Structure 1
C-alpha cells in the first residue's frame, strides 16, 4: 500500500503532527523527507511529531530518512520525533535501537 501523508493544524506551541498511513519503503522515501522538510522550513513550526500508528511496514531506506530528518531538525533547533510505532515497525525500531533516537514524550 502506497503511503499517504496528512498534516494536522499547528498547535499553540508551534508543533505540527504528520500522520502517515501505508508502507514506508524506498518508493516513498523522498516524499517522506519532502513533507518533513517543508514543515521544518516553516518558521512558525517549532517541532514535528510523525504518527506511524497506521504504518504496517518500514524498510531501511525510510528508517535512514527518519534519522536524517531528526538530525536536520536538531541542526535547525527544532524537535522531531515519531510516535505510534506498532507491529513490524516497532520491532525494527526496538531491534535497531532507532526507537530511542526517534522517540520522545507524547503530547498528541
Structure 2
C-alpha cells in the first residue's frame, strides 16, 4: 500500500513539474520581423552581420537563430544575396564625396571678441 502511494505521488509530481512545451521557446515575433527587415534592407549582410547588429542593439539572439529565421523565410543566409565587392564600395564612396562640405564659411554674428576688441 505504501509503495503504491509513493508511486502515485511520484507520478503526480512528475506531471506537474513537466515542461509545457519541450524544447527551446520560439523567438519573439518582433525579433523575427526585425531580422527579416534587416535582411531585406541590407542585402549584402549575412546572418553573422545581422546577429552583430542585433547584439549592438542589445537584443540577445544566437547567430544560428538568425540563420534559421532567414532559412525559414527563403532568404539566403549568406552575403551572396547581393555581393558587393571592394570596387563597388569605393565607387559608392566616390559618388558621395562631392556631397561633403570641405570648406568652412564664417558668418558675421555681430558678437565682439572681448580680448581682441574686434568683431568676429
The structure whose RCO (Cα within 8 Å, separation 6+) is larger is: 1
| TM-score calculated relative to the size of structure 1 | 0.29
| TM-score calculated relative to the size of structure 2 | 0.27
Q: Which has the higher helix share?
A: 2
Q: Which has the higher strand share?
A: 1
Q: Which has the larger radius of gyration?
A: 2
